[in-house]
Structure 1
Amino acid sequence: MKHSRSAPRYTPLNPRLGKLGFRVGLAIADQYFRTKNFYRADSVLAAERARELAARVERGETAYLVGLSIGGFHNTGAALVEFSPVGARVICNNEEERFSGQKHSNHYPRHSLDALAEIMSSRGIRPDQIVAWLATYDYALLMATGARSTLEEFPGSLAMMFEEHGPTFNGDDLKEGLRAPEDIARRFGLSAPPPIIGMPHHDDHAYFSHAVSPFAREKSPVMVVVVDGSGDAGSISLYLAEEGKLRLLRGNDSLFDSLGMFYAVLSATQGGWTALSSEGRYMGASAYGDTNRATNRFYAGLRDIFELREGGEVRLNRSLANWHRSMMRNPYTPELVEIMGPPIPPEDMWNPDAVLRVEDIQHHPNTQERLDKAAAVQMVFEDALIHLIDGLIRETGSDRLVLTGGAALNAVANMRILDHFDAAYYERVLRRSTRLHLWVPPVPGDSGVTIGAAYAFAALAGVGAGPGLDHAFYCGRAPKKCEILEALKDADDVAWVELGDAAQESEREAIADFMAFITARDGVIALFQGAAETGPRALGHRSFLANPCNPHTRETLNARVKYREAIRPLAPMATLEAAKALFELSDGGADDDYNVYNYMVLIAQAKPQAYEKVPAVIHADGSARIQIVRENTDALTHAYLKALGRRNGVEVAVNTSFNVAGPIAQTPVQALDTIRRAKGLDGVFMIAEEGMAVVAWTKKEASQIESWLAEWRAERQTRETSSFCSTES
């Protein structure tokens, strides 16, 4: 039965009640959290600690800040950032999921804190050198905002109070996290529990992302846009940096006028995966749908979900959506059901019969329809994001943008931004001869706010930001030789052989060549080296690597190694020269030698020759989420790509994260567990901090490592003999 369309409503039902609840709630919450030893960033205590940080740096000392995601919200962890007269330096960003094995962990970050204590001890950093412990939310503000959001839609919103714990929030874990001061005192041998200062969540995103961007020292205005699922005050915040100083222009003060929440809800309830796991998959699925706004039959109705107001404002149509009243239990109104069909309920998510599978397109008549819906969701998201940025550009006249927050992981939308705000746009709108330049950090989501809390607090103290970012290898530390050998000793089902010393250039080149030898023969290997990547992308330290020239590599990896959906594309890692030769790199991403392409946060269209040379890494829409590898930040992976170029003719490899149905492998034991589950994997190359390199494989799998090694050594000996004879003659 068709429902008559309700009049659109873009404002809360009870705005005055919401404002009253916010004021009262903030006062009560502030007092409550003080009893738990949590303070706000505008407190007297925070000001004292900021002055102490500034004084230490002024005296030429080195001081430290710890950022903590204490639990309750997804992606908990602990970061350590060093501050000295030369600026800031990230020491580590320990993500709890990597140590615990629970993806997007909400739990108190006990494993991350253990790893932090170990790193501090190994570097001779004393606990008394930590000036402040910083939380990634202003918890008093968050609770007050929650009260306002509930009262704004009262009484319909009361259902949210009875929502079950989900992947994005767990109240029991937050309660445990509020005991963090006492736990920290015990772990680090402090005389008293340290106070924890809660930093505004969007400030965490903004200050770090701007400070490490190529634009941090620009004299001209730089826009910083935070687009999140939700923060502690709202879901969208707009900042402007002038002469290197960042200030908040405005936030939307709404948890539900949220682009990130829109995408999370629709991708989960249409794709059949839980939120946090759904967004990237749905983005991949959208490429198989109808991406023409004029012909996609779901786009016209769905675009009414937002009102795009003058000045770049974006407001949710609360007559079409229902997640502001009931979140995931009843997220659609009848009108939205007519457009998108009924939502997949939480209890059916991950059910094979519910999950969107592009491989079912020949068997299930509604699969193409579901893919067209994914394309419609992606296009509506892009429309709203572009409208938001358009308003900010017109207001500020800036041509530099740092985009951050969880929604900035949408690499397709990021590229659409660069395509839209080109030279023609600036000439037409601002009569300027320029174009937009964009940078996105490797950790725009909540796994990065632990670092961000430290940068935001340092800004309060007026402490300099330090150098920009050129890699993301900050999670934990490099595995030690003894740890790798101990893990191998305890693994009776794993065979291994030592290859040499990767710390020595000549031996590193040989190891890289053996890796390329295997890949060129369509072998699939893993690389486990150094500190792990922070953020959701594997960038060469915890990666599966394979041959990009074989068009069947994607099917092999997805079916036999990763066991993941066919809709998920494989990404290319490449040298800068190969990236320029095979893909259309945007001039808007060219700053700092195309730095933004280091992190898989942008897609690039394949050039014609790429379809022939590297078909495995080209997605259904002709794009690739590319990563450029630099010799100065990852010498082994760069050497591997150069060797692959000599063997395959292209300095490109397939790169996907070293995990199977869980977080990226962090430790040697986890690495061996992963190769046991990855049945189609030939072996893992494990590199110790001291340089020792081994290749390991499971005995029960038909690995060709030993025969390949013998063949490769014979080839090298023949080549060296030939070279010697040529020299003699």
Structure 2
Amino acid sequence: MLVLGISGLDRSMSVKKDMLPGLDPREQRLVQGLESAAALVGEDGVIAASAQERHDGVKGTGGFPADAVEACLRVAGVSLDDVDFLAHGFRYEPSPAFERDDLVRRWYREVYSEQVQLDILASRYPGHDWSRKLVRVPHHLAHAASAYHLSGFSDALVLVADGMGEAESISVMSGRDGRLEVLRTYPIGASLGILYSVVTHYLGFLPGMDEYKVMGLAPYGDASRHAGAAEELARHLPGGRLLVPLLARDRSPVERETHRGSLRRLEELFGPARHPDAPLTQRHMDVAATLQRRLEESLLFVLRSALEETGGGPRDLCMAGGVALNCTANGTIARSGLFERMFVQPASGDDGAALGAALWQLRRHVPAEPVAMTMPYWGEGFGPEEIAGALAVLGPEHEVRELPDARLLAEVSGLIRSGAVVAWFQGRMEFGPRALGNRSILADPSAPHMREHLNAVVKQREEFRPFAPAVLDEDAREYFEIEPGQEGLFRHMLFTAQVREKYRDLLPAVTHVDGSARVQVVERDAAPRFWSLIRRFGDDWGTPMLLNTSFNLRGQPIVRTPQEAVATYARSSLDALAIGGWLVIRRPGARRGAA
């Protein structure tokens, strides 16, 4: 059986722009159905998955994932005729809630309804009986399936937290013997995801996109300065109930679409909102710290309440939904002692709902116990001929050499140690927001000024943003405060750990201001070529670790094809490109591109 999953709501952004013309671009993004993607699964597991933004270049796009669908079919060598079901990660049904006002009526009529989805599919792919093939999966159930079925845990608590599903913002489920059962849901008025997005907007960033920036900013702040406002952000009530009072300030239909009422209340609590171009001050950092702490406290509150209701078990936890991409909160939960094991699905945002919808439908028809995934290298890969063709466009200012594998690793190791920043393009593309060693930019984690150089010159992004260390599995506990047996928790760069005190000064490029790092543990069997490069760097220079960040420039999705990799390298300030078996460097005196 083959099941194709998709995420996104194709008309969401255009309908909002039409309904409310003249909105701020940040207000336009306060919609559901962004991060569209496609995933193809079969009885043996995940075959392919790809985010639409990697194809059309529009970060966080909600457009129909036509290119991603075609990529998944190409990888599998099949056509749509071979697909048994198409599963969509939303299931809106007619409800009195959609009669509340003209705006929500229009949302259902033009974006959410089953007929809209059938019309979109019919226009894209005529000649198919989509009324038979289309399966609409409730949004939180899709998220839950994406985590549970790939966790390897037979008996687990499953937490989904995001902005909202159809009518819920948090869902707690039980996963047992390959099946999911909803234990409790929290309404939209308890949405920790919307809360985080609204504060992201207040701080001058792009909601639905830049929440990770707020997470990175939080360690610079002092949460105690606004401790009195914590109850306004999230209130913990008897019986495990949760409330986000801020959201009740959005009273009119327009306010519910823009959260202007919530933003006004934030200004009353914390002072004027930051303009996107204004400098970041200590006040902004303190607000970020307050938000981050309250998020962590609220997630622990929900989880403790769930454990009490279930009699203290199960002791394994799966997580998905956009909130599960908060690495700092994940690290706090892991250290809480509430659970023996944890798994966070690496594409926990709405791109992962495509994967989960497909897995949910597959396991309805072909039941199976969860199997632990390794690395999400589910995108397209490219052969030597395609890479050579992409490199042929480079001019004489670039030196292009095809090298044996051992020589390639040795030269890249030497370049990185000399202070070079090297783009690394290998194998199949990762699925999810993290570059995990196949579409990466690599540098020396011990270089004192590397973080500033990467942020200012290469990536052209905010100077406070941290970078992740990729460390060998067998050496992770030497450098980071990771409990024995928990190394696998960090393979997808979704948890923070403290850098051991004695190494913090030795690893300035990957140690955040609070001593933490968003660690990626690299296992030999799961990522053999990336492991070999880090091993070579460690053998050559003493530290089995590399700084790893995504291969993209400001405003650009992570590169997908060899052509994109070569073009991005050529117009950037990157020093070298290792792509397949080729190494590209600029000849002495060659003018660098402008990022």
Same fold (TM over 0.5): yes
Change (3 A) 1:442 1:703: farther
Once residues 440 and 483 of structure 1 are traced to their aligned partners in structure 2, the CA distance between those partners, rounded to angstroms, is 34
Residues 162/540 of structure 1: CA separation in 2 closer, same or farther (3 Å cut): same
Say if 1:401 and 1:437, in contact at 8 Å, map to a contact too: yes
Which of 139, 144, 150 lines up with 1:201 in the alignment? 139
SS of structure 2 residue aligned to 1:442: coil
Q: Given residue 270 of structure 2, which amino acid in structure 1 is its aligned partner?
A: M
Structure 1 residue 319: Cα displacement: 7.5
Amino acid of the residue matched to residue 212 of structure 1? L
In structure 1, give the amino acid aligned to 2:260.
N
Which residue of 2 is the match for residue 147 of structure 1?
98
Q: Distance in 1 between matches of 2:129 and 2:195?
A: 46
The aligned residue for residue 65 of structure 2 is 109
Q: Is residue 262 of structure 1 aligned with residue 218 of structure 2?
A: no
Name the counterpart of 1:516.
Answer: 413
Q: Which one of 545, 551, 565 corresponds to residue 658 of structure 1?
A: 551
Native 8 Å contact 1:439 1:596 kept in 2: yes
Corresponding residue number in structure 2 for 1:375: 289
For residues 419-444 of structure 1, give each alpha carbon's deviation from its aligned partner in whole angstroms, at most 9, with x where no partner exists: 3335xxxxxxxxxxxx5432211111
Task: Give the conservation status (yes or no) of the 8 Å contact 2:424–2:579.
Answer: yes
Q: Which is greater in Rg? A: 1
Deviation of the 1:470 alpha carbon: 0.7
2:397 and 2:74 mapped to 1: Cα distance? 28
Name the aligned partner's letter for residue 38 of structure 2: A
Equivalent residue number for residue 90 of structure 2: 137
Q: Is the CA contact 1:494–1:696 (under 8 Å) kept in the aligned structure 2? A: no
Residues in 1 aligned to 2:180 and 2:394: alpha-carbon distance in whole angstroms: 52
Of 153, 160, 165 in structure 2, the residue corresponding to residue 226 of structure 1 is: 160
Conserved in 2, the CA contact under 8 Å of 1:185 and 1:193? no
Letter in 2 for 1:286: A
Question: Is 1:297 the equivalent of 2:297?
Answer: no
Of 396, 403, 411, which aligns to 2:327?
Answer: 411
Matches within 5 A, 1:138-287: 138-140=91-93, 144=95, 147=98, 151=100, 178-183=118-123, 185-186=125-126, 195-215=133-153, 217=154, 221-252=155-186, 254-270=187-203, 272-287=204-219
Summarize the Cα distance change of 1:273–1:162 in structure 2 as closer, same or farther, 3 Å threshold. farther
Partner of 1:645: 538
Asked if residue 322 in structure 1 is aligned to residue 226 in structure 2, the reply is no
What displacement does 1:160 show?
Answer: 7.7
Matched, 1:535 2:491: no
Answer whether contact 2:5 2:87 (CA < 8 A) is retained. yes
Task: Please point out which of 276, 298, 316 is paired with 1:400.
Answer: 316
Give, as a single letter, the amino acid of the residue that structure 2 aligns with 1:663: P
Conserved? CA contact 1:268–1:279, under 8 Å: no
Alpha-carbon contact 1:478-1:530 (below 8 Å) kept: yes
Shift of 1:281: 0.2
State which of 473, 476, 481 in structure 2 corresponds to 1:579.
476
**SS of match in other structure, 1:256:** helix
Give the match for residue 220 of structure 2. Answer: 288
SS of alignment partner, residue 81 of structure 1: strand
Unpaired stretches in structure 2, ≥5 consecutive residues: 13-32
Matches within 5 A, 1:472-621: 472-475=376-379, 477-492=380-395, 495-500=398-403, 507-586=404-483, 590=485, 594-621=487-514
* DSSP 3-state at the match of 2:144: helix
1:77 aligns with 2:2: no
Q: Which runs of 5+ in 1 are unaligned?
A: 1-62, 164-169, 358-366, 423-434, 501-506, 688-692, 705-729
Give distance in 1, aligned partners of 2:329 and 2:220: 16
Q: CA deviation at 1:576?
A: 1.2
CA offset digits 1:99-158 (Å, max 9, x no partner): 11110111111211222332233xxx3544321111111133xx648627xx3xx7xxx7
- Kindly tell me: are residues 197 and 402 of structure 1, through their superposed partners in 2, closer, same or farther at Cα, counting changes over 3 Å? same
Q: Is the 8 A contact 1:64 1:82 kept in 2?
A: yes
Deviations 1:305-332 (A, max 9, x none): 3221223221222586438843435143
C-alpha distance after superposition, 1:221-244 (max 9, x if no partner): 411010011112311111012344
Separation (CA, whole Å) in 2 of partners of 1:190 and 1:453? 20
Give the secondary structure class of the aligned counterpart of 1:139: coil
Q: Which amino acid aligns with 2:522?
A: V
| Aligned equivalents of 2:125, 2:298: Cα separation in 1 | 46
1:58 equivalent in structure 2? none
Residue identity matched to 1:222: A
Matching residue of 1:710: none
The reply on whether 1:311 has 2:239 as its aligned counterpart is: yes
What is the distance in 2 between the residues matched to 1:700 and 1:137?
54
Q: 2:469 aligns to what SS in structure 1?
A: strand
Q: Secondary structure at the match of 2:190?
A: coil
Distance in 2 between the 1:409 and 1:656 partners? 16
The alignment yields a C-alpha RMSD, in angstroms, of 2.8
The secondary structure found in structure 2 opposite 1:297 is helix
Cross-structure match for 1:625: 518
Q: Is the 8 A contact 2:92 2:114 kept in 1?
A: no
Compute the displacement of 1:670 (Å). Answer: 1.1
Q: Contact conserved, 2:178 with 2:367, CA < 8 A, in 1?
A: no
Given that 2:445 and 2:545 are in contact with CA atoms closer than 8 Å, whether structure 1 keeps it comes out as: yes
Equivalence for 1:352:
277
Deviations 1:27-74 (A, max 9, x none): xxxxxxxxxxxxxxxxxxxxxxxxxxxxxxxxxxxx200001252311
**Structure 1 counterpart SS, 2:517:** strand
Cα distance in 1 between the residues matched to 2:583 and 2:113: 39
1:599-619 deviation digits (Å, cap 9, x = unpaired)? 111000010222133221000
Counterpart-to-counterpart distance in 2, 1:193 and 1:230: 26
CA contact (8 A) 1:181 1:193 kept: no
Superposition deviation, residue 545 in structure 1: 0.2
Cα pair distance change 1:210/1:645, threshold 3 Å: same
Normalising by structure 1, report the TM-score: 0.72
Task: Give the drift of 1:487.
Answer: 1.7
The 8 Å contact of residues 299 and 380 in structure 1, kept in 2 or not, is answered as no
Q: CA deviation at 1:303?
A: 2.5
Decide whether aligned partners of structure 1 residues 256 and 490 sit closer, same or farther in structure 2, where only a CA change above 3 A counts. farther
Query: C-alpha displacement at 1:577, in angstroms?
Result: 2.2
| CA distance 1:630–1:394, change in 2 (3 Å) | same
* Equivalent-residue separation in structure 2 for 1:323 and 1:379 (angstroms): 27
Deviation string, structure 1 residues 505-547 (Cα, Å, up to 9, x no partner): xx42332222111111111101111111111110000000000
How many residues are aligned here? 563
The counterpart of 2:300, out of the listed 373, 386, 403, is 386
Amino-acid identity (%): 28
Partner Cα separation in structure 1 for residue 83 and residue 440 of structure 2? 34
Is it true that 1:66 corresponds to 2:11 in the alignment? no
- TM-score (structure 2 length as normaliser): 0.88
Distance change in 2, residues 1:546/1:401 (3 Å): same
Q: Which segment drifts farther, 636-645 or 306-315? A: 306-315
SS in 2 for 1:467: coil
Go from structure 1 to structure 2 and tell me whether the alpha carbon gap of 1:575 and 1:701 turns closer, same or farther (over 3 Å shift).
farther
Task: Say whether the 8 Å CA contact 1:603–1:626 is kept in structure 2.
Answer: yes
Assess, with a 3 A threshold, how the Cα gap between structure 1 residues 452 and 146 changes in structure 2: closer, same or farther: farther
